[in-house]
């Protein structure tokens, strides 16, 4: 028996893309750009401090204003703190970038480990990039989707770990930043599109259609 059709209206697609772009800019692009600029102007110490101040400052401002801190910001800032400690302790820019390359594998393990809990890590991170209504988040089929797509993202971060390690071993810091950022963003973009397609396919099987509009209509 076919399930009755249900339409869930979301904000305009451009709004979701802007929402995701802001998080990527704040958590990835800004600290990398600050590190590279200060690294060239003042050396390793300036680059380390600039990137760390940005990440910790973004968390601190939200804490003071009592604004919800995005999960992706907490994750990337935590990694940034560890990287900075390693950078100061060793004085090596190579090790500073080696650690996040290795931590791709750690993030992949986090995705897999979160399968043991009721709400997976990828479901929490999805809140930072695409605002879904509670009616969808609580749907049993959607919850199963997040558990399955966790495997996809674990694979994405594993591949990203190997490719960034290769790039770090082959290129200068400037070329590494350019190549690794472009490569990582391309891989993540493909995985994100695949995840959205997969989600819409799962929802279609549940008789639910997602529609983007200028103004969201309550589900």
> Does 120 map to a domain?
yes
62 versus 212: the higher-pLDDT residue is: 62
Residue 1 within any structural domain of the chain: no
Domain annotation covers residue 219? no
Q: How confident is the model at residue 219 (pLDDT cuts 50, 70, 90)?
A: very low
Q: What is the pLDDT of residue 1?
A: 45
HEC sequence for the chain: CCCCCEEEEECCHHHHHHHHHHHHHHHHHHHHHHHHHHHHHHCHHHHHHHHHHHHHHHHHHHHHHCCCCCHHHHHHHHHHHHHHHHHHHHCCHHHHHHHHHHHHHHHHHHHHHHHHCCCCHHHHHHHHHCCCCHHHHCCHHHHHHHHHHHHHHHHHHHHHHHHHHHHHHHCCHHHHHHHHHHHHHHHHHHHHHHHHHHHHHHHHHCCEEEEECCCCCCC
The answer to whether residue 56 is domain-embedded is: yes
98-107 mean pLDDT: 79
Q: Which pLDDT score is estimated for 69? A: 82
Per-residue pLDDT of 110-131, as tens digits, reads 899 988 888 888 887 776 666 6
pLDDT value at residue 154: 92
* Count of domains for the chain: 1
Residue 217 within any structural domain of the chain: no
Structural domain of residue 125, as residue ranges?
Answer: 6-212
User: How does pLDDT run across 5-33, given as a tens digit for each residue?
Assistant: 676 666 666 666 676 777 777 877 888 88
Query: Does a structural domain hold residue 44?
Result: yes
| 152 in a structural domain | yes
pLDDT tens digit string along 60-77?
998 898 888 887 788 888
Residue 42 lies inside a defined structural domain of this protein: yes
- Tens of pLDDT along 167-196? 777 766 666 677 667 777 788 778 888 887
């Amino acid at each position: 028996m076919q399930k009755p059709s249900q339409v869930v209206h979301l904000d305009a697609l451009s709004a979701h893309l802007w929402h995701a772009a802001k998080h990527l800019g704040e958590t990835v692009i800004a600290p990398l750009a600050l590190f590279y600029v200060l690294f060239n102007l003042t050396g390793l110490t300036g680059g380390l401090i600039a990137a760390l101040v940005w990440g910790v400052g973004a968390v601190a401002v939200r804490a003071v204003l009592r604004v919800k801190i995005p999960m992706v910001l907490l994750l990337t800032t935590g990694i940034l703190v560890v990287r900075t400690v390693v950078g100061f302790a060793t004085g090596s820019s190579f090790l500073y970038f080696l650690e996040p390359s290795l931590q791709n594998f750690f993030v992949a393990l986090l995705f897999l480990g979160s399968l043991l809990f009721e709400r997976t890590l990828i479901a929490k991170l999805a809140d930072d990039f695409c605002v879904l209504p509670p009616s969808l988040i609580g749907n049993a089929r959607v919850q199963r989707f997040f558990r399955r797509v966790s495997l996809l993202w674990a694979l994405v971060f594993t591949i990203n770990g190997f490719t960034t390690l290769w790039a770090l071993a082959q290129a200068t810091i400037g070329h590494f930043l350019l190549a690794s950022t472009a490569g990582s963003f391309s891989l993540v973009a493909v995985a994100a599109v695949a995840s959205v397609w997969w989600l819409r396919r799962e929802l279609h099987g549940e008789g639910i259609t997602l529609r983007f509009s200028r103004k969201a209509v309550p589900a």
